[in-house]
Amino acid sequence: MLSYQHAFHAGNHADVFKHLTLALITKAYCRKDKPFVYFDAQAAAALYALDDERALQTGEAESGILPLMQKPLAELIKGKLDCALKAENAENNEEAIKEAFEIFEEYLNFCTRLKDSSGLYPGSPAVVCNFARPKDQLVLMELHSSEIENLKANVELIKNGI
């Protein structure tokens, strides 16, 4: 079995990019009336403490999610929305660009609320759950034996609104 444990890498820049992509995809699925099923074959723990010794050992969240949560969104995206809207062919995608920025804001607000209320950072299952509707389903799997119990406990937290 592979020894990769996501708790060491939670909140790094690639994690943030992946979560933003998942949020965009989930919101797109939610535009359809029909429910969807999200399958995650490597769900890991679904929630993480960024002050956990494993996360602190690598410090990857320090250059990933943490700086994003510490600045007002307006400061983070200052000029970027205007730049994106001025880009070639932007007039055809203006609504999509604006929606992407709104989802980015919603994702950061979710991460901040979760950290402020519970001290936790969302993994992919929690991100999808946040953006999904009650009629959508998540199927979560984890092979790493030490994470299975964490996943089960954290799914209960997610179901109860953390």
Q: pTM value?
A: 0.87
Name all contacts of 77-83 with Cβ < 8 Å and 24+ positions apart: 77/101, 77/104
Q: Is the pLDDT of residue 11 over 60?
A: yes
Output the pLDDT for position 91: 66
Output the pLDDT for position 98: 81
Among 37-46, 94-103, 119-128, the least confident range: 94-103
Do residues 120 and 19 lie in contact, with contact meaning Cβ atoms separated by under 8 Å?
A: no
Q: Is the pLDDT of residue 13 over 80?
A: yes
Q: 3-state DSSP call for residue 21?
A: helix
Q: Is the pLDDT of residue 145 over 90?
A: no
Output the pLDDT for position 85: 66
> In what helix (H) or strand (E) does residue 52 lie, and over which residues does it extend?
none
Alpha-carbon distance 35 to 98, whole Å? 25
Task: List, in order, residues 6 or more apart from 158 with CB less than 8 Å away.
Answer: 46, 47, 125, 126, 129
Among 9-18, 63-72, 84-93, 146-155, the least confident range: 84-93
**Region 21-47 average pLDDT:** 96
Task: List, in order, residues 6 or more apart from 68 with CB less than 8 Å away.
Answer: 16, 76, 108, 111
**Region 4-25 average pLDDT:** 92
**Region 48-53 average pLDDT:** 94
Residue 88 backbone phi and psi in degrees, to 5: -55, 135
Q: 3-state DSSP call for residue 36?
A: coil
